Amino acid sequence: MTLTPRFPRFLHGGDYNPDQWLKDPEILEEDIRLMKEAKVNCVSLGIFAWAQLEPEEGVYDFAWMDRVIGRLWEAGIRVDLATPSGARPAWLAQKYPEVLRVDEYFRRHHFGGRHNHCPSSPVFREKVRAIDTALAQRYAGHPAVILWHISNEFSGDCRCPLCQEKWRQFLRDRYGSLEALNDHWWTGFWSMRYTDWAQVESPSPIGQDANPAMWVDWRRFSTKQCGDFILMEKEALRSVDPSVPVTVNMMQRFWDYDYFDLAETVDVVSWDSYPLWGTDDLRAASEHAMTHDLMRSLKDRPFLLMESTPSLVNWHQVNKIKRPGMHLLSSMLPLAHGAQSVMYFQWRKGRGGAEMFHGAVVGHDGTDRTRTFRGVCEVGEALQKLAPLYDRPEREAKVCILFDYPNWWALDYAQMGRKGAMHYDETVNAYYRAFWEQGYAVDFRDSRRFDPESGYGIVVAPMLFMLRDGIEEKLRAFVRRGGTLVMTYCGGVISEDGLAFTGQVPHALTDVLGIRTEELDALCDGEANRMTWDGNTYALTELCELIHADTAEVLSAYEDDYTAGTPCLTRHAYGEGTAYYLAAQAEETFLHAFFRRLAEEKAIPRALDADLPKGVVAQKRGNAVFVQNYGGAAQEIALPGRFTDLLTGAAFDGKASVPARGVLVLTGNDD
Ligand code: GLA
Ligand code: ZN
């Protein structure tokens, strides 16, 4: 399937800001010449161009954009056209201060920066709708325009009086009455009971700051505010021409909004990926591979890599340039996971502004004689060679990890265990990494979207603290029909509305798991307990739960401290399937060995039927296997048969050498 029907190819290009260079018209021609050299076929245009497009209120200047799009089209370069709402012109903020955001201290911000509007402001909405409509009327029918890029990296929230009113309305819709709100937020505690809707304000460090259920609702509200704003922009574009798909560029796993919900507002999922290469590259790759799989999972479809850096960024603590090989390797990672593009921030480096030293395809020297430019050309060529894989994104994952935003928020707001260090995201990444490093494809689902009948062999539910409505029945059905479920510590403690379950924990799953949990102990950094499984001893850190194995078989017990001898890892047969419970955070080598065992029991195939050396990973897309070496030395690998590398044409029989920071895209000679 294609995400961009007007141009069904791998997209190669990036953020392009000719609006910053209007005083130097030759730059446009030079850019187009260089783009063709680098095999760039698509640029994201106008992302922050509002001040150029509407220099005065109601006065539009499209002449420069007409020229740019026209010249790009003549050169065969497509356009991902942005709405400019990511940053507003000064005149707008000056005349209508209500468009500016109010922060958690109830301070109205001043003009400046970006991504800081009020999503409720009727004036802001009207102005955005007007310019979006004008853009759509002018360009939606242009053959160069293949995609709408709504705004840029939505983030944060506003607490102005208009947003407070929306918040109260959101709560009215959710709870029906103040009485019900009081019950769900347990406001009997600390005399927090509300007697008038007007008393209800957003959470704030100088106000209501400590109620977890309220905070989780605030995140739900924030997600809704952002989604409503996206829908408003989408509607403005669609009312002119519904044929061009719409995307927003997302950011990693981004905690502020529920990306599963937000993805429903757009046609195409895209995201901006900026790994810090040059320290632990395998770890960085696993973190970004996880997000690629999350992005693919949001709609169960391919996704776009909307931004990445061709060299370095300027906002990491330490900004490293890419080592030889890393640009091609890191550009192949999203493709291995289903991306239909490799796009960059940014095409040409500006001479000033906050990002004047951020990496770009074309630097201040303005030439093609750089390592970065040559690296980009290499990716452009690779994308052409990989064209046969374009509409072959199937991954057929047999492993599903539950990754649930309300659960994440609830754990972080719960005020228990390890303050500010519950590490849900890191834990999910560790579980993912155990599968990913061994070549097992993984889907992500949240509790709401998980379907017990989608054919998964293994479902892992790490730290599933909040049991959203329906998930217990779904997990039960999954195990009953033969699935393997792995639940872990902190599981099944609170309900979707944030209240602790009364009775045994994990609520309504105790009979499936054959255990019940009693206490949660938190360990300081550097402290550890131990357990032994299958002949090896593993460290247990951070969170250790005391559990009772009522009917489950104890596979492993704690070995240290007064908990020695009490269960830590259990197995329970239920229906046709098996449910495991892991009561503590176990080190990564355990997760590798344990998940490998479960996957073998379920006969789940790996991308490549071969054991690869540490640092080398394989992922399958269609009939091709992307073998990636994140290590600093070449590695010999064994291959199960004869293969050809799509990138170089090299043929391999039974073995291959993968260069340091190198990548092979192998197809079997029988395919
Ligand atoms: C984000 C933004 C871009 C730019 C890059 C820099 O992804 O969307 O506008 O600021 O970061 O890395
Ligand atoms: Zn507001």
Return the CATH number at 385.
3.20.20.80
CA 665 – CA 618 distance, rounded (Å) = 9
pLDDT at residue 589 above 70?
Answer: yes
What integer is the mean pLDDT of 62-83? 98
Looking at the DSSP bridge assignments, the partners of residue 485 are 459, 579
Strand 145-149 relative to strand 567-574, pairing:
unpaired
Q: Percent of the chain scored above 70 by pLDDT?
A: 99
Residue 114 CA to ligand 2 center (angstroms) comes to 15
Whether residues 140 and 251 fall in one domain: yes
pLDDT at residue 668 above 80?
Answer: yes
Cβ(185) to ligand 1 under 6 A?
no
- Whether 83 is in a domain gets the answer yes
Residue 321 CA to ligand 1 center (angstroms) comes to 17
Whether residues 123 and 252 fall in one domain: yes
What integer is the mean pLDDT of 418-424? 96
Whether residues 470 and 488 fall in one domain: yes
Cβ(31) to ligand 1 under 6 A?
no
How many folded domains does the chain comprise?
3
Question: Is-contact 664 645, C-beta < 8 A?
Answer: yes
pLDDT at residue 396 above 90?
Answer: no
Atom nearest to 314 CA in ligand 1 = 12
Ligand nearest to the CA of 164: 2
DSSP secondary structure letter of residue 389:
G
Q: What 3-state class would DSSP assign to 580?
A: strand
Give which of 547, 380, 374 is closest to 40, Cα–Cα.
380
Ligand nearest to the CA of 308: 1
Token code pair at residue 416? 């228990």
Cβ(360) to ligand 1 under 6 A?
no
- Whether 545 is in a domain gets the answer yes
Residue 222 CA to ligand 1 center (angstroms) comes to 22
What pLDDT was estimated at residue 663?
98
Residue 101 CA to ligand 2 center (angstroms) comes to 6
- Whether 215 is in a domain gets the answer no
Cβ(345) to ligand 1 under 6 A?
yes
Measured in whole angstroms, the distance separating CA 93 from the mean position of its chain's CA atoms is 32
CATH classification of the domain holding 535 = 3.40.50.880
Token code pair at residue 4? 């961009």
What pLDDT was estimated at residue 670?
61
Whether residues 597 and 627 fall in one domain: no
Residue 87 CA to ligand 1 center (angstroms) comes to 13
Token code pair at residue 444? 């992500």
What integer is the mean pLDDT of 556-582? 98
Atom nearest to 315 CA in ligand 1 = 12
- Whether 204 is in a domain gets the answer no
What pLDDT was estimated at residue 291?
98
How many residues would you count in the chain?
671
For residues 199-225, one letter each, b for 16 or more C-beta atoms within 10 angstroms of the residue's C-beta and e for the rest, the string is ebebbeeeebeebbbbbbbbbbbbbbb
Out of 47, 248, 271, 355, mutate this one to test ligand 1's pocket (max ligand atoms within 8 Å of CB): namely: 355
Residue 335 CA to ligand 1 center (angstroms) comes to 21
Question: In the listed set 558, 575, 601, which residue is the last one of a domain according to the structure?
Answer: 601
Cβ(274) to ligand 1 under 6 A?
yes
The verdict on pTM exceeding 0.85 is: yes
Whether residues 377 and 415 fall in one domain: no
Question: In the listed set 574, 601, 628, which residue is the last one of a domain according to the structure?
Answer: 601
Atom nearest to 249 CA in ligand 1 = 8
Ligand nearest to the CA of 229: 2
Cβ(270) to ligand 1 under 6 A?
no
Atom nearest to 251 CA in ligand 1 = 7
CA 152 – CA 114 distance, rounded (Å) = 9
3-state SS record for 597-624: HHHHHCCCCCCCCCCCCCCEEEEEECCE
- Whether 476 is in a domain gets the answer yes
Q: In what order do the strands lie in the sheet with 78-82?
A: 304-307, 268-272, 246-251, 145-149, 78-82, 42-45, 11-16, 341-344
Give the CA distances from residue 506 to residues 67, 494, 499, 555, 563, in Å, rounded to whole numbers and listed in that order: 62, 9, 14, 19, 20
Atom nearest to 114 CA in ligand 1 = 9
Cβ(307) to ligand 1 under 6 A?
yes
Whether residues 132 and 261 fall in one domain: yes
Question: Is-contact 151 248, C-beta < 8 A?
Answer: yes
Cβ(358) to ligand 1 under 6 A?
yes
- Whether 633 is in a domain gets the answer yes
Out of 304, 345, 348, 356, mutate this one to test ligand 1's pocket (max ligand atoms within 8 Å of CB): namely: 345
Residue 270 CA to ligand 1 center (angstroms) comes to 13
What integer is the mean pLDDT of 38-57? 98
Per-residue pLDDT reduced to its tens digit, 289-324: 999 999 999 999 999 999 999 999 999 999 999 999
Q: What is the mean pLDDT of the chain?
A: 97
Atom nearest to 309 CA in ligand 1 = 12
Per-residue pLDDT reduced to its tens digit, 111-130: 999 999 999 999 999 999 99
CA 529 – CA 482 distance, rounded (Å) = 33
Question: In the listed set 570, 601, 632, which residue is the last one of a domain according to the structure?
Answer: 601
Whether residues 482 and 582 fall in one domain: yes
Whether residues 374 and 491 fall in one domain: no
Cβ(44) to ligand 1 under 6 A?
no
For residues 365-379, one letter each, b for 16 or more C-beta atoms within 10 angstroms of the residue's C-beta and e for the rest, the string is eeebebebbebbbbb
What integer is the mean pLDDT of 406-433? 97
- Whether 61 is in a domain gets the answer yes
What pLDDT was estimated at residue 187?
97
What pLDDT was estimated at residue 349?
97
CA 277 – CA 416 distance, rounded (Å) = 34
pLDDT at residue 284 above 90?
Answer: yes
Whether residues 61 and 80 fall in one domain: yes
Ligand nearest to the CA of 165: 2
What pLDDT was estimated at residue 395?
66
pLDDT at residue 671 above 60?
Answer: no
Catalytic residues: 153, 307
Q: Percent of the chain scored above 90 by pLDDT?
A: 98
The residue whose CA has the least distance to atom 12 of ligand 1 is 313
Whether residues 377 and 457 fall in one domain: no
pLDDT at residue 222 above 90?
Answer: yes
pLDDT at residue 513 above 90?
Answer: yes
Query: What band does 582 get if pLDDT is binned at 50, 70 and 90?
Result: very high
Structural domain span for residue 633: 616-668
CATH classification of the domain holding 628 = 2.60.40.1180
Atom nearest to 48 CA in ligand 1 = 9
Question: Is-contact 584 417, C-beta < 8 A?
Answer: no
Atom nearest to 153 CA in ligand 1 = 8
- Sequence-separated contacts (24+) of 71-77 with Cβ below 8 Å: 71/28, 71/29, 71/32, 72/32, 72/43, 72/45, 72/144, 73/142, 73/143, 73/144, 75/32, 75/35, 75/36, 76/36, 76/41, 77/13, 77/32, 77/35, 77/36, 77/40, 77/41, 77/42, 77/43, 77/144
Out of 20, 47, 150, 153, mutate this one to test ligand 1's pocket (max ligand atoms within 8 Å of CB): namely: 153
Ligand nearest to the CA of 123: 2
Residue 168 CA to ligand 2 center (angstroms) comes to 13
pLDDT at residue 245 above 70?
Answer: yes
Whether residues 129 and 89 fall in one domain: yes
What pLDDT was estimated at residue 306?
98
Per-residue pLDDT reduced to its tens digit, 143-199: 999 999 999 999 999 999 999 999 999 999 999 999 999 999 999 999 999 999 999
Whether residues 439 and 385 fall in one domain: no
Strand 516-522 relative to strand 11-16, pairing:
unpaired
CA 609 – CA 639 distance, rounded (Å) = 8
pLDDT at residue 93 above 90?
Answer: yes
Per-residue pLDDT reduced to its tens digit, 341-395: 999 999 999 999 999 999 999 999 999 999 999 999 999 999 999 999 999 766 6
Strand 577-582 relative to strand 584-586, pairing:
unpaired
Query: What band does 601 get if pLDDT is binned at 50, 70 and 90?
Result: very high
- Whether 212 is in a domain gets the answer no
What pLDDT was estimated at residue 392?
79
Question: Is-contact 96 122, C-beta < 8 A?
Answer: no
The residue whose CA has the least distance to atom 3 of ligand 1 is 345
The residue whose CA has the least distance to atom 10 of ligand 1 is 355
Q: Could you give the maximum distance between any two Cα atoms of the chain, in Å? A: 77
What pLDDT was estimated at residue 465?
98
Cβ(114) to ligand 1 under 6 A?
no
Residue 369 CA to ligand 2 center (angstroms) comes to 48
What integer is the mean pLDDT of 138-142? 97
Cβ(344) to ligand 1 under 6 A?
no
Residue 110 CA to ligand 1 center (angstroms) comes to 21
